Structure 1
């Protein structure tokens, strides 16, 4: 990753800023400071969210960024600011120092606005340069100063928002770095080492299980997937204890799929389908990254995460279609397609998470191509065994600016996973509804009575083109949703879930 930009707060734009952003609402283009509407019309600028127009007089560039129509509130307003921040930094790649003048008619409260804007600035400027030759890495934007006016209280409030936004964006960037790293480099042992090191830096406890410990823990699904690999698997458990935690502090468990490269195993993928399979650990990356941001955000709930890690490869010991393994809870599983391996490792992690007796479990996984077919590459599928908890996760995603859509777990589809030789098989014989039957498979490994939500992030975890603050390549999708969920745990904030979902354009 290139060095993240430094976001500061000041009462006025610094003299060294060679580019300044001003926000413009689509219905107020005649009120843009320093730029006439006629000039905006000439370049076709409409003020749509995420658009930008640059006017450069040779001394300082003025960049007008679109905020959409005025009057937006809630997640629509904060999402507009994130996208405006990303549009700005992408419009000024040759500048080193810039400023962003916050509009006078800002809708969200200042701390919320500056948090969202900081997220957009940092994530929009993200680059993965780790594998480029040094002479091929060009310097980018180093500093953006948010201009908030002469009020000292406003400066302090804005700085709080910036600090929180930087913590969130830093976690997302860490997840992106992990996913963007090739599978031959980020092996399971390397992944576990990086996760544990980052966790310990911030005060999160890390426990790493090697192959012997995984076998001793009877994690049959993880062992089965790893059989075809020459590289040992790992399972990483991270634990965050909030300050002042006691016996009555609830626990939330997170689970993430960590397939560091997926060839499909003996059910081999076509060559074209393998090219981006370094991203098949995007769920684990998001979970680990979110865990490392919890201390900075001061989250009040205890959080524990389980991320199983292995590649899915082919050798003489690889599991064969028709093989049966035994999971930690005693369930026997017939594997009919070795390319449906993510659910096997997730099942073991869900069992471990359930043994923590948590208030709820959330898992993230790049699980099914069927979800990408159904929802495209910008929206994650959301499934749950509890309607209230599904609504809570959907609300968190809306506030975080990450798009999800609820999908059902129909009980009458569950018999499609009945096996003739074992307790359950890993795929249905039906060629359709693969996302739903994958979710139903996972549900069988969740402890009774525990609210659980599953996010299939196969689409939005890795993009071919940037989208707002989401980068091309790894996006770190899910980190912000998890953090919004955990920050708001137990809070009665009165958000209307349907209204929040509608603001993301999904109704």
Structure 2
């Protein structure tokens, strides 16, 4: 029988300090070197130097990760190559460890950094070390051996202030990397296995041992009593509205990080943020708790199906009623891709409406694959973000700081008429530019609370290895959200 690994999976332990020695140490180093202008993250590789040390060469010059500001004004928004270097190195050493005749042997990968290493370099290196670990694999076989212990050798760093902050920087980078890994692992679980029951169990496993967090889970019966028509409409093609067949297909998970409750029970304080989405949500909540973020955050994950109620040509298109009474008109004939897209929107809309009514947050943030149009417009490496000016700037700049690209999109008022439906309050598949109207549709359920929509359709999946990004699920957006909410 195939096995789904327990989550969260362990990530490498990373220590910082002077040089260590021993028979179990695999020596590596980062070298700053000139690289051709045409080089990309794909060109970075780990080579065995003549002295027997594994070496990765990172570029001397940096590259901008956003067009919103000049690097001279904010150098932290640059890609220094260290994140990719860490991932490339760990992937290469991972193959060595897996091929070792004694696979259970515990190796320590020691990475010596150059004298001019900065705090940002160390944080990015730690992210890459974690991101370079193996992807989740559902298999009967024992998983491949992986790197479990890494030591960053800072003995050669010349700047004492960097040495003093090294441990803190590496720890933060490790937490950011672990958030991405957890999000990508959750997304890598095959859809038939990621049932409502699975989600409810895993959410508790992810946060069960972290102080200041709490999980509440709900099944189909609770959704029916509360009136979650959007989520229920996706269960067994609408059967879940009043049939028991959709029990495992739909559900609802509530997660909390409350800094005031780190030593006790949750408070009734109004949350600063309501975070709605899928895999990134538990990853972000856990990371914020580990970093002791100052803001209370409520995370909601609506677990939904992927089939809409059938539409009979010649009849009015189906209408569903959400938990707040708002009605959504569904599209007529729809292909599999559009059906899945609409199902996600219906579920997210229900979650936003419930969260706003129940918790009165100061801000709503929706994250996930909202519209394939954003991938068409921006490709596979950049996410789309809509919202107020403050949210656009924070997502774009803080995303760049942790290596994730975002592009702010407008939501012009003249498109509001497209979101409205003829036979209901709103249309689930509005006409017009889909990346914009999909975000505007979700914003209708926020009841005036500032609402940012982070569309990850393009960068949430990769078909190729690019630096710190491996093939498959990427966990995109988790680091951005942690960086945004941790202050």
1:238 correspondence with 2:250: no
Q: How does 1:252-331 map to 2 (within 5 A)?
A: 252-256=273-277, 284-313=278-307, 318-320=309-311, 322-331=317-326
Is the partner of 2:290 in helix, strand or coil?
A: helix
Q: 1:56 Cα deviation (Å)?
A: 4.0
Give the distance between the partners of 2:37 and 2:381, measured in 1 at CA.
25
Q: Report the alpha carbon displacement of residue 445 of structure 1 after superposing the two structures with TM.
A: 0.7
- Structure 1 residue aligned with 2:223, among 214, 225, 245? 214
Residue aligning to 1:168: 176
Aligned to 2:272: 251
- Counterpart residue number, 1:80: 81
Per mean C-alpha deviation after superposition, the further-off stretch among 175-184 and 297-306 is 175-184
1:54 — aligned with what? 47
- In structure 2, what is the equivalent of residue 427 of structure 1? 429
**CA-to-partner distance for each residue in 1:380-417, whole Å, 9 max, x for gaps?**
11111x11222122222112211110111122122123
On the 8 A contact 2:273/2:361 being kept in 1, the answer is yes
The corresponding residue for 2:101 is none
Partner in structure 1 of residue 482 of structure 2: 483
Q: 1:99 to 1:199 in 2, by over 3 A?
A: same
Aligned pair count reads: 432
How far off is 1:52 after superposition? 2.8
Q: Return 5+ residue gaps in structure 1 as ranges.
A: 28-43, 257-283, 489-507
The answer to whether 1:129 aligns with 2:137 is: yes
Q: What residue is the counterpart of 1:144 in the other structure?
A: 150
Could you say what secondary structure the match of 1:100 adopts? strand
Match runs of 1:82-481 below 5 Å: 82-92=83-93, 93-95=95-97, 96-106=107-117, 108=118, 110=119, 112-134=120-142, 137-149=143-155, 157-203=165-211, 204-228=213-237, 230-232=245-247, 233-243=250-260, 251-256=272-277, 284-313=278-307, 318-320=309-311, 322-336=317-331, 337=334, 338-339=339-340, 340-355=342-357, 356-384=359-387, 386-428=388-430, 430=431, 432-448=432-448, 450-481=449-480
**Contact (CA 8 Å) 1:9, 1:155: kept in 2 or not?**
no
* Partner Cα separation in structure 1 for residue 15 and residue 87 of structure 2: 16
- Aligned-residue Cα RMSD (Å) equals 2.8
Deviation at 1:179, TM superposition (A): 0.9
Query: What SS does structure 1 have at the residue aligned with 2:233?
Result: helix
Distance in structure 1 (CA, Å) of the matches to 2:127 and 2:25: 20
Indicate the residue corresponding to 1:500 in structure 2: none
List per-residue Cα deviations over 1:24-66 (Å, max 9, x = no partner).
Answer: 1327xxxxxxxxxxxxxxxx99986561351344x72331321
User: 468-477 vs 91-100, which deviates more?
Assistant: 91-100
In structure 1, the residue matched to 2:68 is: none
Between the aligned partners of 1:313 and 1:475, the Cα distance in structure 2 is 25
Report the Cα distance in structure 2 between the residues aligned to 1:464 and 1:150, rounded to whole angstroms. 38
What's the offset of the Cα at 1:227? 4.2
2:304 and 2:344 in contact (8 A); partners too = no
Q: Mark the CA change 1:118 to 1:436 in structure 2 (over 3 Å): closer, same or farther.
A: same
Question: Is the CA contact (8 Å cut-off) linking 1:45 and 1:53 kept in structure 2?
Answer: no
Q: Is the 8 A contact 1:78 1:113 kept in 2?
A: no
Q: Does the Cα contact within 8 Å between 1:234 and 1:308 map onto a contact in 2?
A: yes
Q: 1:369 to 1:353 in 2, by over 3 A?
A: same
Q: Distance in 1 between matches of 2:216 and 2:177?
A: 25
Partners of 2:409 and 2:34 lie apart in 1 by: 34
How big is the shift at 1:70? 6.7
CA distance in 2, matches of 1:387, 1:153: 35
> Measured at CA, do residues 371 and 442 of structure 1 come closer, stay the same or move farther in structure 2, by a change above 3 Å?
same
The CA deviation at 1:250 is: 5.3
Q: Cα offset for 1:247?
A: 7.8
TM-score scaled by length of structure 1: 0.78
SS in 1 for 2:347: helix
Tell me the alpha carbon deviations over residues 430-465 of structure 1, each in whole angstroms, 9 at most, x when there is no partner. Answer: 4x51111111111111121x2211011011111111
Q: Judge conservation of contact 2:383–2:454 (CA < 8 Å) in 1.
A: yes
Pairwise CA distance, 1:115: 2.4
- C-alpha separation between the residues in 2 aligned to 1:290 and 1:190? 19
Shift of 1:19: 3.5
Q: When the two structures are superposed, what TM-score results if normalisation uses the length of structure 2?
A: 0.81
Per-residue deviation, 1:374: 0.7
CA shift for structure 1 position 132: 4.9
Q: What is the rounded CA distance, in whole Å, between the counterparts of 2:222 and 2:144 in structure 1? A: 45
